[in-house]
């Protein structure tokens, strides 16, 4: 068998993996929420995680499952034009079910403060709120639920705030709808304190934490073996350990191991070693440095002080090492938690919340 097989790993942001690892609970909770009916809290969920933790892929996986259940989904990325994008998605995914804003009855038209002129019959003249309301109503009347997913949330995006405010109205009206948001920890925590979206504070916030090793292992094994190469145990052990439960690292590692093995029928130890060192460089530039760049010098010093402990750190020790008061220290602690870098444990204890970043900081003392 001399032919070259395509590399089955997908180290590209937003790219659905060959084998999806873990996340079953996050998916099941939302899917159950969809079948439970309006009012289920899982129907408004925010997924929170750093770059490469698998947010985009999680949103598309759930949207796919939802459409298999008969739901229509509309998916967009936060930004100017997102409402148009959502509406176009609704129309393309549910075109056969929607009469369309122009053709449908105008009897229920009750939008906007001013008198409704003839021109409002044209869809462009109708407010977004009305257009979404009409589409949702039409679909719900046919027993079809509507799932909205919005990726890369950004609290400074006016359209996102507008969307959330009329989504809230659908909920009040007990419409058969759901809304999944996803974003970086710092963006989500800013969104949660924004005015006008108090509604999102009541939504479920789910963190994309590390995927358990057993799930990582199984997904890597299946990706390799189902595509025609062998994955010796020793090689799997090395890959799982290096991935530290992080989806993007998992794909980078698998990709490298496959590639450096060349035409060989079995993934080699040498190829994995090479993949591990290449992955470290790639992770540094795409995940670790961007995360650290968002931190202030004081925050970095806090992290540095934490690396002096082998495991979790006592917050008062950190304050002492930094020579600052407890109030300052707890402000820094709060901000690092918001950024998804550390987590608070039992009273007075903090630990890292991003294993890939923790490993980097410990392995490169003083370099950052
Ligand atoms: N559950 C998963 N199992 C395996 N690979 C995953 C999983 N989730 C994401 N990936 C992979 O990880 C990378 C990052 O995923 P992505 O959804 O783009 O992350 P994010 O949106 O959080 O930055 C992609 O290469 C994707 O193929
Ligand atoms: Mg993404």
Give pLDDT, residue 197.
Answer: 76
Give pLDDT, residue 120.
Answer: 41
Kindly report which listed range (120-129, 292-301, 305-314, 355-364) carries the lowest average pLDDT score: 120-129
Average model confidence (pLDDT) across the chain: 89
Of 22, 52, 240, the one to substitute when testing ligand 1's pocket (max ligand atoms within 8 A of C-beta) is 52
- CA–centroid distance, residue 52 to ligand 2 (Å): 7
The DSSP code for 366 is T
Q: What is the mean pLDDT of residues 135-155?
A: 94
- CA–centroid distance, residue 53 to ligand 1 (Å): 6
Confidence of residue 367 (pLDDT cuts 50, 70, 90): confident
Give pLDDT, residue 106.
Answer: 43
Confidence of residue 124 (pLDDT cuts 50, 70, 90): low
Counting ligands in written order, the one closest to the CA of 151 is: 2
Secondary structure of residue 147 in the 3-state scheme: strand
Pick the atom of ligand 1 nearest to 57's CA: 17
- CA–centroid distance, residue 46 to ligand 1 (Å): 16
Pick the atom of ligand 1 nearest to 13's CA: 18
Give pLDDT, residue 37.
Answer: 84
Pocket-forming residues, ligand 1, beta carbon under 6 Å:
10-15, 17, 20-23, 49, 51-57, 219, 247-248, 250-251
164's tokens: 């959330």
Please name every residue paired with 182 in a beta bridge, in sequence order, or none if there are none.
Answer: 47
Specify whether the CB–CB gap between 82 and 41 falls below 8 A: no
In the structure, ligand 2 is a single-atom ion and the residues with CB under 5 Å from it are 55-56
- CA–centroid distance, residue 61 to ligand 2 (Å): 13
Give pLDDT, residue 274.
Answer: 97
265's tokens: 């029928």
Give pLDDT, residue 29.
Answer: 95
Counting ligands in written order, the one closest to the CA of 282 is: 1
Of 247, 253, 255, the one to substitute when testing ligand 1's pocket (max ligand atoms within 8 A of C-beta) is 247
Q: What is the mean pLDDT of residues 216-245?
A: 97
121's tokens: 């019959």
Specify whether the CB–CB gap between 246 and 356 falls below 8 A: yes
Question: Is the model's pLDDT at 112 over the cut of 60?
Answer: no
- CA–centroid distance, residue 273 to ligand 1 (Å): 22
240's tokens: 């799982």
- Residues 6 or more apart whose CB falls under 8 angstroms from that of 220 comprise 19, 231, 236, 239, 240, 243, 250, 253, 254
What is the 3-state composition of the chain as percent helix, strand, coil, each rounded to the nearest 5? 55, 10, 35
Pick the atom of ligand 1 nearest to 208's CA: 22
Give pLDDT, residue 100.
Answer: 59
Give pLDDT, residue 105.
Answer: 41
- Name the one residue in this structure whose structure tokens are 């906007």: 112
Counting ligands in written order, the one closest to the CA of 247 is: 1
Specify whether the CB–CB gap between 9 and 223 falls below 8 A: yes
- CA–centroid distance, residue 163 to ligand 1 (Å): 26
- Residues 6 or more apart whose CB falls under 8 angstroms from that of 159 comprise 78, 79, 80, 81, 82, 83
Ligand 1 atom 24: residue of nearest CA: 13
Kindly report which listed range (41-55, 100-114, 131-145, 251-265) carries the lowest average pLDDT score: 100-114
Backbone angles phi, psi at 262, to 5 degrees: 65, -135
Interval 88-109: pLDDT, tens: 999 888 877 777 554 444 434 4
Counting ligands in written order, the one closest to the CA of 208 is: 1
Counting ligands in written order, the one closest to the CA of 290 is: 1
Pick the atom of ligand 1 nearest to 21's CA: 3
- CA–centroid distance, residue 202 to ligand 1 (Å): 27
Backbone angles phi, psi at 365, to 5 degrees: -60, 135
Identify the burial level of 105 via C-beta atoms within 10 angstroms of its C-beta, where 0-12 means exposed, 13-18 middle and 19 or more buried: exposed
- CA–centroid distance, residue 149 to ligand 1 (Å): 16
Pick the atom of ligand 1 nearest to 50's CA: 22
Interval 18-51: pLDDT, tens: 999 999 999 999 999 999 988 888 999 999 999 9
Pick the atom of ligand 1 nearest to 151's CA: 21
Interval 156-184: pLDDT, tens: 999 999 899 889 889 999 999 999 999 99
Query: Is the pTM higher than 0.85?
Result: yes
Pick the atom of ligand 1 nearest to 12's CA: 25
Q: What is the mean pLDDT of residues 148-153?
A: 97
Specify whether the CB–CB gap between 197 and 203 falls below 8 A: no
Of 151, 208, 248, the one to substitute when testing ligand 1's pocket (max ligand atoms within 8 A of C-beta) is 248
Question: Is the model's pLDDT at 118 over the cut of 60?
Answer: no
């Amino acid at each position: 068998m001399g032919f070259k097989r395509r590399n089955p790993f997908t180290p590209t942001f937003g790219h659905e993996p060959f084998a999806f690892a873990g996340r079953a609970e996050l998916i099941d909770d939302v899917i159950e929420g969809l079948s439970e009916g309006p009012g289920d809290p899982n129907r408004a969920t925010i997924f929170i995680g750093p770059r490469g933790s698998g947010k985009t892929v999680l949103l598309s996986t759930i949207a796919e499952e939802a459409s298999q259940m008969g739901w229509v989904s509309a998916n967009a990325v936060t930004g100017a034009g997102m409402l148009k994008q959502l509406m176009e998605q609704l129309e393309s995914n549910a075109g056969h079910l929607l009469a369309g804003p122009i053709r449908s009855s105008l009897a229920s038209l009750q939008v906007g403060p001013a008198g409704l002129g003839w021109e409002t019959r044209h869809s462009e003249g109708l407010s977004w709120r009305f257009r979404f309301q009409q589409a949702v109503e039409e679909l719900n009347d046919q027993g079809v639920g509507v799932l909205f997913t919005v990726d890369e949330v950004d609290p400074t995006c006016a359209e996102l705030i507008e969307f959330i405010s009329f989504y809230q109205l659908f909920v009040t009206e007990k419409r058969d709808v759901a809304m999944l948001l996803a974003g970086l920890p710092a963006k989500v925590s800013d969104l949660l304190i924004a005015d006008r979206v108090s509604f999102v504070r009541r939504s479920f916030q789910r963190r994309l934490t590390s995927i358990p090793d057993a799930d990582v292992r199984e997904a890597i094994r299946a990706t390799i073996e189902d595509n025609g190469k062998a994955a010796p145990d020793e090689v799997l052990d090395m890959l799982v350990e290096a991935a530290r439960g992080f989806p993007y690292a998992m794909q980078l590692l698998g990709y490298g191991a496959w590639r450096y093995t060349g035409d060989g029928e079995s993934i080699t130890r040498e190829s994995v070693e090479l993949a591990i060192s290449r992955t470290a460089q790639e992770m540094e530039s795409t995940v670790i440095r961007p995360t650290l760049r968002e931190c202030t010098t004081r925050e970095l010093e806090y992290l540095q002080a934490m690396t002096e402990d082998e495991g979790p750190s006592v917050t008062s020790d950190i304050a002492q090492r930094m020579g600052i008061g407890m109030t300052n220290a707890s402000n820094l602690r709060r901000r690092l938690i918001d950024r998804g870098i550390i987590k608070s444990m039992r009273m007075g204890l903090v630990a890292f919340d991003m294993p890939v970043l923790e490993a980097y900081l410990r392995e490169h003392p003083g370099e950052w």
